[in-house]
Amino acid sequence: MLTPFLKSKYSLSGEVQRLPFTYLLFKPGITFREWLKNIITELMCNAMGTNAKQIFDACVRICRRQDISISKFLFPVAVLHTAIAGSDEDRQNITEEFLAVLRYRCGPYDTTKMKDTLQQCIEIIFSAIDHMTKWLRHKRQDDLSSKTAAARQQNRHYSLEDNSGLDPAIRRVRSILDAIPPELMGICSLEFKSYARSLLYWEQHIRAKRNELCEDEMEPLYDQLQRIYMHIEEPDGMSGISA
């Protein structure tokens, strides 16, 4: 039955219809489907490079017409592409959009639907941040391996502190991740019960503040860390913080 389709070819015709789009998109009253559909359409339609344009041009049509799970799957990929190949303005826009969502706090007049929208938006942003972090780790490992091999061939030592040949793509992705405070990530993760993630970022926040604050000012940070350990049932960690 499917044999005739094995050699079939299809072509796309016409342009994707795009609504007027301006950042910041997230605002009270917006639905998660509306937010995700509009932002992923903007990211994919602004793809850079021939191959990326061809792939995203096909994907964006699927995202607009099919189940939202496809858009959720492709969102981290589109964000990473924008981080690597987009302009400084593109990176700034996506960073500000992420910060607007992460900093939003539901008030007493927000509906349950708005609270659900915020949670879903934060979860998809977490997935994009995780994807960029994973890419960054693998990219650094690949660069280190290639530079170490090149240095070995030239009979010289390669220092890990040598950043002269750092890939520009690494700097671009890093610029987005560095713009999102670990404190904010830790608080949002704790609010939405992502305790392991909250622990990761809150420890980063403590390390960053250790040289800036005195012991008394650090006390509330350690108290928050202890509360996080309580949620993940880590008695050794709680004992260490108490000590």
| pLDDT tens track for 135-163 | 999 998 887 777 677 666 766 655 545 55
**Which of 31-45, 144-158, 168-182, 193-207 has the weakest average pLDDT?**
144-158
Give a yes or no: residue 65 inside a domain. yes
Q: What is the pLDDT of residue 84?
A: 96
Q: 173 with 194, same domain?
A: no
192 and 143, same structural domain? no
Q: Are 192 and 122 contacting, i.e. CB atoms less than 8 angstroms apart?
A: yes
Q: Is residue 43 part of a domain?
A: yes
- Provide the residue range defining the domain that includes 134: 16-152+166-180
Report yes or no on 141 lying in a domain. Answer: yes
Do 226 and 242 belong to one domain?
yes
pLDDT digits (tens, 9 = 90+) for 181-199: 999 999 999 988 888 899 9
Looking at the structure, do residues 147 and 188 belong to the same domain, yes or no? no
Look up the pTM and report it.
Answer: 0.84
Mean pLDDT, range 50-77, rounded to an integer: 87
Residue 95 lies in a domain: yes
How many CB atoms within 10 Å of residue 167? 13
27 falls within a domain: yes
The answer to whether 226 and 203 have CB atoms below 8 angstroms apart is no
| Residue 223 and residue 135 share a domain | no
Compute the distance between CA of residue 187 and CA of residue 182 in angstroms, rounded to an integer.
Answer: 9
Question: Are 217 and 117 in a shared domain?
Answer: no
**Alpha carbon of 40 to those of 126, 153, 181, 227: distances in Å?**
15, 44, 24, 36
Question: Does one domain contain both 173 and 210?
Answer: no
Q: Which of 58-62, 81-85, 170-174, 188-192 has the lowest mean pLDDT?
A: 58-62
Average pLDDT, the chain: 85
Percent of the chain with pLDDT over 90: 47
| pLDDT greater at residue 205 or residue 145 | 205
Asked if residues 118 and 104 have their Cβ atoms less than 8 Å apart, the reply is yes
- The reported pLDDT for the residue numbered 74 is 94
Does residue 158 form part of some domain?
A: no
- What's the total number of domains in the chain? 2
Are 197 and 113 contained in the same domain? Answer: no
Do residues 76 and 143 both lie within one domain?
yes
Point out the least confidently predicted range of 16-25, 51-60, 199-208, 214-223: 16-25
Tell me what pLDDT residue 6 has: 72
Do both 174 and 191 map to the same domain? no
- Shared-domain flag, residues 132 and 30: yes
From 59-68, 199-208, 218-227, the region with the lowest mean pLDDT: 59-68
Higher pLDDT, 12 or 26: 26
